Chains A and B, each alone.
Chain A
């Protein structure tokens, strides 16, 4: 006799939910990091580490930007400002205490996060478009401030000598790669955690219709502030190792428009609604740029970014993730 019982699917039991939400991502992350460290033995081409560093850096930036831009729908054009806060925290450290890199990354994150909180407090009450313009203004004001701050070089810039790398890594490019790998994985885990939490759901509600969300009880300002703080902190963390990568830093390169456009383009191209979109966008666009810079010219690779951004935002606004989803639905 078969009794008809409501069956609970296996994936919905609390044990497997814990596995899906925490264990699987964590183990995957640990495996990725271990694989990355193993690469240190296999790849001896120093330039490769610097190239991969750039891509990992964009993974962090794109993921960070997307927390506010993709999840909440607030376009932050002040990426360069937060990135530069991380850079200059690192420069101040280079000229004074010379603390090790992981420590300064955390400090840079805190600095950028606090500034993000402050900026958010001033500007997040503004309508979306005005917020974006205000973030641009914020970046330029910060640029001018650093141009005038002679301790960190002002407009003159600072040449940065790389210290010795910790023994495990051998050379400094490998060390930079290792640090950024861990940071990138952490950033993605954080974005994923935000997305699946009440914070993420609130942000999504804000993105769809802020007024309606507020009426339903979503504390919009508070959530936006949290998103801005996390986003800003992560961008600052990505900036901290940059002086050691580029070995000569001046405000013009810290506030580079290229970094700002890339950080916006990558989530747009990859897909803004979920954590994997920025990663896809960063890896694809980043690799493409590295290849074109070395083979053709850097100017052309910049043009490529602009064109891809325009094409994707006009024709495929949900990004690659969206395109894949649409294809899957069509063939299902």
Chain B
């Protein structure tokens, strides 16, 4: 009898616990943020850096008590830099893993591939770097961290062409080359517009399949035409291949580069080192005296301490600052809305100016930035292949726009011997 009553008491106690624990447990359920990130393949240099940044932010916010009192968790899959995997990944995140929030992977091509699934689920999508990805969809819940401004296609190469126009005597001819993929095509279209506006004659205008590895015939075809300007829009593997071919064939031009994705990563800076001298490239942040934001230096110190151990980009100049800012924006939005309602989040994102470690950010039409902040840099004074030299200023000299200008243009580009 005694045993029986003990049993009853135990059962009652269990019942009480369950009844009270249920709401408690619901509060403890973590907030899941879903992302398909490039952890292997051509874009992995950026994807892995982004993931490390998200993890740093996750630890910080969980130490502060979480978001809305709940711990934050990332659910991520490797998209292998292959856009074909992206729809499946986001379907899985939304339908099976049932994540609360979704953000995009890194780069135009994966972002565009994700859009149909995101639009079908009507989610608010805080995307990362993507060039003019929303132009074909005009989705009102899309927001991007890429500081392209209201006219992305044109703004992307504007700096390069401003520099070209400033050269005397005025350049006459230009060769435009890029990958036959979303990013390459959009960048090249913008370059063509600018070339026409400036009166440069386009003597070469070709795109190559994304999987091309041998660029010698392309570079040679450009070389025989002897153009004054060469505009290249490529992803990391092709940027590397193109630079190798440029050195192998010996191509020179007054201005060379513009749309090389990948030179912003530490890995390629280390691989090419001094060979980057006088190459022109776009960027979003450079450690120059003219570009100081509150909070970014402290963040970079924290990031760099972990980057070496994690085997990711040791400089952390290109992806991490903006990825951290992306999380700051997400945090502020979720707190302001008090939840994850997509419509409310989109409304808040449209009307607010956010304070982040890369300055103030306000989104405008179609989720692009209200005003552009793409900078055009030239690599100068690079010696050898030591990657640490890029931490100092004076190696990635900002030449455009004028408010960030920190040096003078050096013309022409010739393959550096060493």
Contacts and interface: CB of A to CB of B under 8 A. Distances in A.
Task: Check whether chain A touches chain B (CB < 8 angstroms).
Answer: yes
Interface of A: 45-47, 50, 147, 154-157, 159-162, 172, 246-248, 250, 252-253, 256, 294
B134 to A, nearest CB: 11
Contact of A252 (B84, B86, B115): B84
B140 interface: no
B56 interface: no
Nearest to B180: A155
Contacts of B115: 159
B84 A248 contact: yes
A155 B83 contact: no
A147 B209 contact: yes
Given A156-B180, A156-B185, A157-B182, A248 B209 contact: no
A246 B114 CA distance: 10
Nearest to B111: A159
Contact of A47 (B87, B96, B179, B181): B96
A248 B119 contact: no
12 contacts: A47-B95, A47-B96, A50-B91, A155-B179, A155-B210, A156-B184, A159-B136, A159-B137, A161-B120, A246-B87, A246-B88, A248-B112
A150 to B, nearest CB: 8
B116 A162 contact: yes
B92 A47 contact: yes
Given A161-B116, A246-B87, A247-B116, A46 B209 contact: no
B113 interface: yes
Interface of B: 82-84, 86-88, 91-92, 95-96, 112-113, 115-117, 119-120, 136-137, 179-182, 184-185, 209-210
A161 B84 CA distance: 15
Of all A-B residue pairs in the complex, the 10 with the closest CB atoms, nearest first, are A247-B116, A253-B84, A248-B113, A155-B180, A47-B95, A247-B87, A155-B209, A161-B116, A156-B181, A159-B116
Identify the interface centre among A45, A172, A246, A294: most chain B CB within 10 Å of its CB: A246
Contacts of A162: 116, 120
Contacts of A248: 83-84, 86-87, 112-113, 116
Contacts of A159: 112-113, 115-116, 136-137
B84 A155 contact: no
Contacts of A252: 82, 84
B87 A156 contact: no
A200 B250 CA distance: 63
Contact of A157 (B83, B96, B137, B184): B83
A47 B91 contact: yes
Given A155-B180, A294-B92, A250 B83 contact: yes
Contacts of A246: 84, 87-88
A144 to B, nearest CB: 9
Main secondary structure of the interface of B (DSSP, over half): helix
Contacts of B96: 47, 294
Contacts of A156: 180-182, 184-185
Contacts of A50: 91
A208 to B, nearest CB: 41
A147 B120 CA distance: 27
B180 A154 contact: yes
A157 B113 contact: yes
A247 B185 contact: no
Nearest to B113: A248
B396 to A, nearest CB: 30
A184 B372 CA distance: 52
B100 to A, nearest CB: 17
A155 B116 CA distance: 19
Contacts of B136: 159
A246 B181 CA distance: 18
Nearest to B208: A155
B185 to A, nearest CB: 6
Identify the interface centre among B116, B136, B137: most chain A CB within 10 Å of its CB: B116
A47 B88 CA distance: 10
A294 B92 CA distance: 8
Nearest to B114: A248
A162 B122 CA distance: 13
B181 A155 contact: yes
Given A246-B88, A247-B120, 4 more contacts: A156-B180, A159-B113, A247-B116, A248-B87
B95 A46 contact: yes
Given A50-B91, A147-B209, A160 B116 contact: yes
A164 to B, nearest CB: 11
Nearest to A48: B95
A268 to B, nearest CB: 26
Nearest to A246: B87
A51 B86 CA distance: 16
A155 B184 CA distance: 11
